[in-house]
Amino acid sequence: MQGIFVDKTKVTVEELIEKARKSQRPLYLGLAGQPEVVVQAVRKELDPEQKRAIRALSGLYRKIRGFEEKHRMDSAEFFYRYESNALEESPTYVSWWIAYSAFADTLQRHNLTRNEVECYLGNSPITTGG
């Protein structure tokens, strides 16, 4: 698997962890094309119930991803702004609001992250970082 070269002077530890989680590829950490450390996220083993939940979430995931691409906004941010009345009510937004709430609640109940859903369903994450 091809990795990604990351300039260690331009990334914090938190950013590195996030990048490793999202990319699912090795990160070569070093300077000027000379890798010193390889960082790779290890995927958590999902239990059968979690796998069933993810399969059931596939339609909801496609739906919220469609909204995110159309409106160029992350669902979590949308949800917060919508609940705070910072966005106007519209049938589309109501649908996004309900779908994301069901998606986020399901993740929480099954102790899953969005990234795990994306990996299992074989989709690349929305945000890949710089």
Binding-site member from 82, 114, 116, 120 for other proteins (CB under 8 A):
82
Question: How many helices and strands, by DSSP H and E, does the chain display?
Answer: 5, 3
When asked if residue 97 is in the footprint of other proteins (CB under 8 A), the reply is: yes
Which residue pairs, CB below 8 angstroms and at least 24 apart, start in 118-124?
118/61, 119/24, 119/43, 120/46, 120/51, 120/54, 121/54, 121/58, 121/61, 123/61, 123/65
Q: Is 47 in the site for other proteins (CB under 8 A)?
A: no
101 scored as a contact of other proteins (CB under 8 A): yes
Q: Which stretch binds other proteins (CB under 8 A): 8-16, 28-36, 85-93, 115-123?
A: 85-93
| 71 interacts with other proteins by CB under 8 A | no
Instruction: Kindly list the residues in this chain that would bind other proteins in the complex (CB under 8 A).
Output: 52-53, 56-57, 59-60, 82-83, 85, 88-91, 93-95, 97-99, 101-103, 105-106
